[in-house]
A and B are shown apart, each in its own frame.
Chain A
Amino acid sequence: MAGNQLPGRKMRLPSRTMLTKDRIVTLILFLPSLVLVGYFVYVTIGWNVVVSLSDWKGLTPSYNIVGFDQYTRLFQDPTFFTALKNNLVLILLFVPGSLFLGLFLAILLDLKVRGEGVFRGIYLLPFALSFVVTAVLWAWMYNPSIGVINTLLMKTGLGFLKSGWITDPNVGLYCVVLAIIWQFSGYTMLIFLAGIRSIPESQMMAAEVDGASGFDLYRLVVIPQLKAPALSAFVVLMVFALKAFDFIFVLTDYSDYTYILPLMMFRETFSMNRFSYGAAIATILFLLALVIVVPYLYLSFRREKE
């Protein structure tokens, strides 16, 4: 029986491994998504790069390729550097701000709080809202004449703290940062809380027996184990900070002091009709996002494989 050919066996109906019916079905099912994602994500990104290498200006498309002209112009444009600087300030304040506030709130909620669900809901609520909604809400908060903050300051005898807030070029950017921290810290709280809850209770108890207590317990036992949630929240916040548009566009329009790259891209493209110039800014934004996202995706993919 050990032979390669069994006696008396006739091959019957050998079906080949080629295109079976099931494979065709799979292809048909998968094709729409493949085409949509392929076109709307990858072809358009490529197309955008092509536009950025052209000299298209005005309303009729032109694909006269001029190379890196738009990029050289960009690097000589002072408004680009203003936008870049503002973008960096935004990232440097917003990302750590949201992470810390979120972590703080998560720890507070982890302390066996009565009504935890209610507080969690309240903190997360802003994240569910549209940026347009929050922009209008904060415009009202920041309104210098009858807005919420100034009125409250007056009523509580803190009138000397009154400010032009969002309309004041000196603090406008910080006002934006504050508002988006308000919107995002609920999200980071949620991510951290899930991370904390995935640490086995027995570990906390062991540490307590070892004499750690209160915030020490968090500093020594919990926080060091929150690297993974911190990383994914970090990536989400970074990517958002790069492309934040809606909120600032609605709140302050194109004011200098809150001018960041995505706003510049939109304005150059759709207000000034400098399509190739806008496309160059978009390409830079895309590359910056890629630098953050690809290592992250690669890491999480490898972890999943294990």
Chain B
Amino acid sequence: MRFPKPRRVTLYILLVFFAFLFLLPLWTCITTSFKPVHDVIYTTPVELPLSPTAEPLITALNIMQRPLLNSFTFTISAMILSCLLGSINGYILTKIRFRGSDTVFLFFSIGIFIPYQAVLVPLVLTMSKLGLFNHIEGLILTHTAYGIPITTLLFRNFYGVIPNSLIMAAKTDGAGTWTIYRRIVLPLSLLPFVVAAVFQFTSIWNDFLFGVALARGSEAQPASVALANLRGTTEFQWNVQMAGTLWYALPVLVIFFVLGKYLMRGYMAGAVKG
């Protein structure tokens, strides 16, 4: 439907106004990351730096390097593991099925929504017992386990539209459960794998709670925790803080711009965050 002209102008003014509000924090983050201390004080945050410098970015990277590497390690590992398990679960829950498979799925789904505070104490105890407290492996295990419910949901939704006749045909052709998965279902799963991987990457990368509870001040510290610490240790160096933020946000920003379409599909599948 078309509004009359003046109302269309209002519409675009509103859209641009909101776009400005939504981008403002990020924009000032970028400008400030390139400002020397002098510019931070003497220019408004929205302005471009007078004498741009990479100094803050280098300083921040020196501090964040190790945690960023840690985050990459456990994020990618847990992403792969949770996607594989989710894919297998989705296959079993839609195409194999067994008595009570819907109930199992219901119990998995609850796992998507639980406040992680409710598992934090036993989780820390478990990781200490396993000797994985303050270890990357502990974070991998944790993020894999808590990623399974959502990846299962995503894959289950996608596999729901693979025709059952395809699976039945494979059965009469002589293929067993594993062969059907390997030869039929998995090759048809490129899209759900991209969606689930993108979704898992961003949510694991963005996590703070598990990181701060399981690997706070250690070698295994994730970038999110390092950034929060950076905020404490560089109280008045806003340019360094912003530079650190930029480094930490960069992978997610890249994913958002390159694969945003798939990320949206993940969000729309009823997914949560936090």
Contacts and interface: CB of A to CB of B under 8 A. Distances in A.
Interface of A: 21-22, 25-26, 29-30, 32-34, 36-37, 39-45, 47-48, 51, 61, 105, 108-109, 111-113, 119, 121-141, 143, 146-148, 151-152, 155, 182, 186-187, 190-191, 194, 204, 208, 213-214, 217, 232, 235-236, 239-240, 242-246, 249-250, 262, 265-266, 269-270, 275, 278-279, 281-283, 285-286, 289-290, 292-294, 297, 300-301
A39 to B, nearest CB: 7
Interface string B1-30: 111000100011011001101111110110
B249 A130 contact: yes
B32 interface: yes
Contacts of A190: 264, 267-268
Chain A to chain B: the 4 pairs with minimum beta-carbon distance, closest first: A130-B206, A286-B118, A243-B115, A40-B145
A9 B149 CA distance: 50
A32 B119 contact: no
Contacts of A128: 202, 252-253, 255-256, 260, 263
B241 A136 contact: yes
A137 B29 contact: yes
Contact of A48 (B21, B23, B121, B273): B121
B231 A136 contact: yes
Contacts of B25: 126, 134, 137-138, 140-141, 148, 182
Given A217-B1, A244-B274, A285 B122 contact: no
Given A41-B119, A111-B3, A242-B115, 5 more contacts: A30-B92, A131-B206, A239-B115, A239-B274, A293-B110
A108 B202 contact: no
B120 A282 contact: yes
Nearest to B256: A128
Contacts of B131: none
Given A250-B231, A282-B115, A137 B245 contact: yes
Contacts of B248: 130, 132-133
B231 A139 contact: yes
Contact of A45 (B18, B32, B118, B177): B118
The interface residues of chain B, by DSSP majority, are classed as helix
A189 to B, nearest CB: 10
Contact of B106 (A30, A249, A297): A297
B115 A262 contact: yes
A232 B249 CA distance: 28
30 contacts: A36-B144, A37-B108, A37-B111, A39-B145, A40-B142, A43-B122, A44-B119, A44-B122, A44-B123, A45-B119, A47-B121, A108-B14, A108-B18, A111-B1, A113-B15, A122-B23, A126-B22, A132-B224, A136-B231, A136-B245, A137-B26, A137-B29, A152-B46, A191-B267, A214-B3, A235-B113, A246-B274, A249-B212, A269-B120, A282-B120
B221 to A, nearest CB: 13
Contacts of A214: 1, 3, 7
A113 B209 CA distance: 39
A252 to B, nearest CB: 11
Contacts of A47: 121-122, 125
Interface size class of B (residues with CB under 8 A): 35 or more
A30 B96 CA distance: 11
Given A32-B85, A133-B245, A266 B117 contact: yes
A146 B12 CA distance: 31
Contacts of A235: 113
A279 B121 contact: yes
B47 to A, nearest CB: 10
Contact of B113 (A32, A45, A121, A293): A293
Contacts of B108: 33, 37
B19 A123 contact: yes
B24 A141 contact: yes
A37 B120 CA distance: 15
Interface in B240-274: 241-242, 244-245, 248-249, 252-253, 255-257, 260, 263-264, 267-268, 270, 272-274
Given A33-B152, A141-B24, A25 B178 contact: yes
B107 A37 contact: yes
